[in-house]
A and B are shown apart, each in its own frame.
Chain A
Amino acid sequence: MKPATAQPGLGIHETLGDARLQLAIYTATQRLIDHRKKAVASDVLPAYQDLRTLAHQIKRHTIEHLDYYLEQVEANVTARGGKVVFCEDANEVADFVLKLAKEKGERLIVKSKSMTTEEVHLNERLESHKLEAVETDLGEYLLQLAHQRPYHIVAPALHMTRHDVADVLTESLGVAREIEPEKQTKIARATLREKFLEAGIGITGANFVVAGSGAVVVVENEGNARLTSSAPRIHIAVAGIEKLIPSAKDLAVFLKLLGRSATGQPLTVYTSFLSGPRREDEPDGPEEFYLVLLDGGRTKLLADEGKRESLYCIRCGACLNHCPVYRKIGGHNYPWVYSGPIGAIITPQFHGIDTDPWLPFASSLCGACLEVCPVKIDIPKVLLKLRAEVTASGAKGKRERTAFRIWAWVMGKPRLFALFGSLAAHFSPRPKNGAWIRRLSWPMNPPPLPAWLSQRDLPAPAERSFRSQWKSRKAAR
């Protein structure tokens, strides 16, 4: 499977050079960082670290016994009058929805935010068959009108200004230009309300699929997922096979972590626990319920024990907000719908490392992603494994490989390492007042150092090396 090409938009250099966009990314992610920090503080949620450990254990248990839980959820959804549809890839999901719409004579489909359906480009397929598929999350709706993909897992239209929104609404809906977010939201509400009441099919994602209950759990703030799953005659929930958790009790762990990690909310405004179609005596709700379980590359990833934990992700977006790379290059410069650190580890595993071999290297390995991950996915470890695979595949140039071979050889010889270290410290410039080194003079700058330094500054080396300081302090004791 080939990944979607990056959306026509700003490339990495353009993004870095766009002061407005840089500020937008910085402010939005900083706000999410601050909100999360308050929500998981030890005085507010003393059990936070225990909950993370538990969440990791529950996910590991479920993934390690995935076949068991898949069969269990299938039996329970069926017992509640719903139907489980297994799909191997994106096309099968679209085929299923198209066939169902045709069979039931439905033309209008409302959708609530679902990364999984973004994965399969469902909207494009549906539209090419003259079905109308309308995104109903405000951000996703704006992106659909503007023909863009999500910039962020949780805040999809993070990069748009109110002026961009005004342009999009005026052009697509022919309404008077409005630049107040409150009024813009009202316009979207009124337009989408008609769609909700008219639509025959509603498609949602699922944050969790509860095997023991045969239920999907959907969390949201706007109410569009509730409308999507309650107003139309048919509800289809689309989820990756890794979204399973054993029982409703486990929600006491996951719901406490998800909202807090994503937006700093102890609970999002709406948490829906939906099991099958409406019961006989219930006055409303869908008459038919389908749970679509998508493989789409997940079983390939499952086979790799060392990187399997990539499937534990609950899509909170915290790793994006805390990533120094994401915060500079933004969401559209990652090659697939999942951006940031989690995108950097799952994209190459879903599509093969040959497609975007640069991706695992787009990280400073600072470890912030692991520190904030609510299910403790060791993203830096997986990045390193992927880097090793890229290197082993021969994708790296001969010169780079030779350079690293020499490097490795030197690192294995403590005396040689100390010698090179002291030479470097001796000859390197020492800018005044603690300023950083931006340029090296001859003979310290053989290629590729100048190219490397064109992107980075270096702190001046210490007067004495760490090793010699260590030695003398140890002696002083």
Chain B
Amino acid sequence: MSAREKILGRVRTALGRMPGEGIAPRPEFELQIEAPADRIALFCERLEALAGKAHVVAGAPEAREKVKEIVGGRSAVAAEHPLLASTGILDLAGVQHSFATPAARREAWASCEVGITSASFALADTGSMVMFASPSEPRLVSLLPPVHMAVIPASGILAGLEELLARVPDPAVHSSSMVLITGPSRTADIEQILVRGVHGPGEVHAVILQYC
């Protein structure tokens, strides 16, 4: 008998259940969505409380200027996201985004100082950015560089986790990876002293695009 059969067998014996037996009704509950008066303002407030930086810009030209200003001459790599293309961010001088081989791409992700992405959603009440791995949203661009910047349309700002789960009941349908990023990477493992940027980015920017 395999470990699988033995374990399932022991579980059934312990619970007094038969193979293929159905289940009692699950505990049900409503997702309580509390919409804030001003989603953008709340998101910015919560992100900044975690030492992230929030920037609200009007449209594409302002977004491009803001990104250029934050990059400030540092080496940068961007995800090939339609929003980053349409705002002209991919065309900024010094922003790499297209690579001949996967190895070259990974090398750029690992060596650049700034990683630029978009994000599908943001959560106002926790200051989180929600990213789904996809062709236009690799996992490592928001993770390897010491600085992460996400350009997010204001329409993507949700009230919080509940609204996200109401809109996306099963994240696995859309992507192999959904990640909620809530502020800069941090640790307090040595004497409970807060240090930012331990393995992930220590500097996190959200550029909120009001009209796009």
Is A252 in contact with B171, judged by CB distance below 8 angstroms? no
Return chain B residues, CB-CB under 8 Å to A182. 193, 195
Binds A, one of B15-23, B53-61, B67-75, B87-95: B15-23
**What CA separation (Å) do A295 and B27 show in the bound complex?**
25
**What CA separation (Å) do A221 and B188 show in the bound complex?**
9
**What CA separation (Å) do A213 and B105 show in the bound complex?**
31
**What CA separation (Å) do A66 and B135 show in the bound complex?**
36
Residues of A213-243 at the interface with B, using a CB-CB cut-off of 8 Å, are: 213-215, 221-224, 226-227, 229-231, 241
Contact code string B153-178 (vs A, CB < 8 Å = 1, else 0): 00000000110010011111001111
Is B171 in contact with A270, judged by CB distance below 8 angstroms? no
Contact code string A167-181 (vs B, CB < 8 Å = 1, else 0): 000000000000001
Binds B, one of A277-285, A317-325, A337-345: A277-285
Return chain A residues, CB-CB under 8 Å to B177. 229-230, 272-275, 278, 282, 285
Looking at the complex, which one of B12, B161, B197 makes contact with A251 (CB distance below 8 Å)?
B161
Return chain B residues, CB-CB under 8 Å to A107. none
Given contacts A138-B198, A222-B187, A223-B198, contact A283 B135 (CB under 8 A): yes
A28 beta carbon closer than 8 Å to chain B: yes
Binding site for A on B (CB under 8 A): 2-4, 6-8, 10-15, 17, 19, 21-24, 26-27, 29, 31-32, 102, 105-106, 110, 123, 125-126, 128, 133-135, 138-140, 143, 161-162, 165, 168-172, 175-193, 195, 197-201
**What CA separation (Å) do A222 and B184 show in the bound complex?**
9
Is A185 in contact with B187, judged by CB distance below 8 angstroms? yes
**What CA separation (Å) do A246 and B140 show in the bound complex?**
29
Return chain A residues, CB-CB under 8 Å to B105. 283
Return chain B residues, CB-CB under 8 Å to A332. none
Return chain A residues, CB-CB under 8 Å to B198. 138, 185, 188-189, 221-224
Return chain A residues, CB-CB under 8 Å to B165. 248-249, 251-252
Binding site for B on A (CB under 8 A): 24, 27-28, 31, 47, 54, 57-58, 61, 64-68, 70-71, 76, 80, 86-88, 92, 136-139, 142, 155-158, 160-162, 165, 181-182, 184-185, 188-189, 192-193, 196-197, 210, 212-215, 221-224, 226-227, 229-231, 241, 246-249, 251-253, 255-256, 265-279, 281-285, 289, 293, 295, 299, 302-303
Of all chain B residues, which has the CB nearest A58? B27
Is B31 in contact with A249, judged by CB distance below 8 angstroms? yes
Is A256 in contact with B185, judged by CB distance below 8 angstroms? no
Known A-B contacts: A142-B190, A181-B195. Give 5 more (CB < 8 A): A54-B29, A249-B31, A253-B29, A269-B184, A299-B10
Looking at the complex, which one of B29, B133, B170, B191 makes contact with A284 (CB distance below 8 Å)?
B133
**What CA separation (Å) do A284 and B117 show in the bound complex?**
14
Of all chain A residues, which has the CB nearest B125? A266
Is B24 in contact with A61, judged by CB distance below 8 angstroms? yes
22 pairs of residues in contact across A and B, judged by CB atoms under 8 Å = A54-B27, A64-B15, A67-B17, A68-B23, A86-B8, A87-B3, A162-B193, A182-B193, A197-B106, A224-B199, A248-B169, A249-B169, A252-B161, A270-B200, A274-B177, A275-B171, A282-B135, A282-B177, A284-B106, A284-B138, A299-B10, A302-B11
Q: Is the interface of B mostly helix, strand, loop or mixed?
A: loop
Smallest distance from the beta carbon of B10 to chain A beta carbons, Å? 4
**What CA separation (Å) do A136 and B185 show in the bound complex?**
14
**What CA separation (Å) do A82 and B154 show in the bound complex?**
35
Is A246 in contact with B185, judged by CB distance below 8 angstroms? no
Return chain B residues, CB-CB under 8 Å to A274. 176-177
Is A241 in contact with B110, judged by CB distance below 8 angstroms? no
Return chain B residues, CB-CB under 8 Å to A299. 7, 10-11, 14
Return chain B residues, CB-CB under 8 Å to A184. 190
Is A231 in contact with B140, judged by CB distance below 8 angstroms? yes
**What CA separation (Å) do A64 and B24 show in the bound complex?**
9
Return chain B residues, CB-CB under 8 Å to A138. 187, 189-190, 198
Return chain A residues, CB-CB under 8 Å to B24. 61, 64-65
Q: Which of B8, B26, B177, B190 has the most CB of A within 10 A?
A: B190
Given contacts A71-B8, A189-B197, A267-B161, contact A279 B182 (CB under 8 A): no
Of all chain A residues, which has the CB nearest B195? A185
Given contacts A65-B24, A241-B11, contact A270 B162 (CB under 8 A): no
Is A295 in contact with B7, judged by CB distance below 8 angstroms? yes
Of all chain B residues, which has the CB nearest A294? B7
Is B172 in contact with A80, judged by CB distance below 8 angstroms? yes
Return chain B residues, CB-CB under 8 Å to A139. 187, 189-190
Is B135 in contact with A266, judged by CB distance below 8 angstroms? no
Return chain A residues, CB-CB under 8 Å to B31. 249, 252
**What CA separation (Å) do A284 and B143 show in the bound complex?**
12
Looking at the complex, which one of A155, A227, A251 makes contact with B143 (CB distance below 8 Å)?
A227
Is B172 in contact with A155, judged by CB distance below 8 angstroms? no
Is B170 in contact with A213, judged by CB distance below 8 angstroms? yes
